[in-house]
Amino acid sequence: MVETAAATGLTKPLADFTRGELENLNEAELEAVIAAAHDNANEARLVLGRLLIEGTSEKLPKNEKKGFNWVKEASKNGHLGALEYRTYYEIRYDKQPNMKKLLANLETIVDKTKSTRAFNMLGEFNQVQDKKEGSKEEAAKYYSKSADEGCQIGIHWMGVFYHLGFGVPKNLPKAVELLTKSAKTGNGQSCYQLAILYINEEGEFKNIKKAYSYFEKALLYGVSFFEEFQALFQANFDELSPIFLTTKKPSALINKDSKDEVIKLHEAYVNEIKTSFSAALGKDRLYQRAVGFMQDQQIWMIGVLVRYFVKQVLSFDHPDFMKAMKEDINPLLGELGLWALTNYSMRQKEKGKADKKKRT
């Protein structure tokens, strides 16, 4: 006899529910799946616990304590996804987390699942312990494994590490390869690191024009080194002013032969980016949107999500589109996301005009 949850209105066999389908059930339906004790019972425990903790389902009221108990139960039963979720939760919310135990959990997770998030967590832990012998090499080991799995965080940090010689021998060609790969996904931090590389390195890697281009992209993705960008322009005025004037096409009233006027115009452009960024960030903080409270090391997400939204999400069918908007694109659903999308659109228009000019 095929077991169903008829009492809750479900007609599908309980053992056949996928994670996506479980996420659309209400609390009573999920508890019915758990009570049936099929292979997906622990998956249902994790889903129920996560939905209660995060409060992201309209069908379940938020209850963090109850939700965490479901997650703990699933993790004790050997569910690796629940163990991973529990570990991140305890790292974030425990006032006195048992780091030895949590690190052991992460080691178990990466050994059995190759979770890039766990690789990155271990990489970050060792990275901040850089004065401890061997920690730099351990950080590079874990970020390298994350990069091998295609994770943008791992790719970015390995690019940084190869640039700085942190935990690995300095390798500028490898640094450029990895940082460029990450920058193409919209990672503003990688754009900024490339700018620093092209400014400070010597020989074939010294390239002020590339540095300026990547620095500008970084700013438009939310990296907030505005004064440094203006200083770069002024210090390399003869090389960079033609690029700026060609791209921005200022009013005929501007004397393009006047260094002072062009520098002031560039400063006004930088201040416009800074002011609009600050205004968008301020509104998101005022309305308590999560994106308004991103730390500097998290701001890379904005550009990556912009590219993901434009290049992929807009082509999804309706169910996948709605799921992506709810689960993946949430940081863009605010003033800062709109600001970044506007900047991306502006750059694409400028790029299109420049490409058209090259063909004529």
% of the chain at pLDDT higher than 70? 91
Interval 66-98: pLDDT, tens? 999 999 999 999 999 999 999 999 998 888 989
At 354 the pLDDT is 55
List the alpha helices (DSSP H) in the chain. 19-22, 27-35, 41-54, 64-76, 80-93, 99-113, 116-128, 135-148, 152-164, 172-183, 188-200, 208-220, 226-235, 237-248, 259-286, 300-311, 318-327, 335-359
Rg (Cα) of the chain, in Å, rounded? Answer: 25
Distance, in Å, from the CA atom of 43 to the CA atom of 74, rounded to the nearest integer, reads 8
At 297 the pLDDT is 63
What does the pLDDT average to over 305-329?
80
Greatest alpha-carbon span in the chain: 86
Distance, in Å, from the CA atom of 100 to the CA atom of 41, rounded to the nearest integer, reads 29
Query: Is-contact 329 291, C-beta < 8 A?
Result: no
| CB-CB neighbours of 127 under 10 Å | 21
Q: Which domains does the chain have, with CATH numbers?
A: 1-110 (1.25.40), 114-183 (1.25.40.10), 202-360 (no CATH)
What does the pLDDT average to over 117-133?
91
Tokens of 289: 């949107």
Who contacts 8 (Cβ-Cβ below 8 Å, separation ≥6)? 26, 28, 29, 32
pTM of the model: 0.84
At 37 the pLDDT is 78
Answer yes or no: is pLDDT of 330 > 80. no
Distance, in Å, from the CA atom of 197 to the CA atom of 38, rounded to the nearest integer, reads 55
Who contacts 288 (Cβ-Cβ below 8 Å, separation ≥6)? none
Nearest CA among 152, 182, 151, 185 for reference residue 308: 185
Answer yes or no: is pLDDT of 2 > 50. no
What integer best gives the mean pLDDT of the chain? 88
At 7 the pLDDT is 47
Using a 10 angstrom Cβ sphere, with 0-12 exposed, 13-18 middle and 19 or more buried, the burial of residue 258 is exposed
Q: How confident is the model at residue 359 (pLDDT cuts 50, 70, 90)?
A: very low
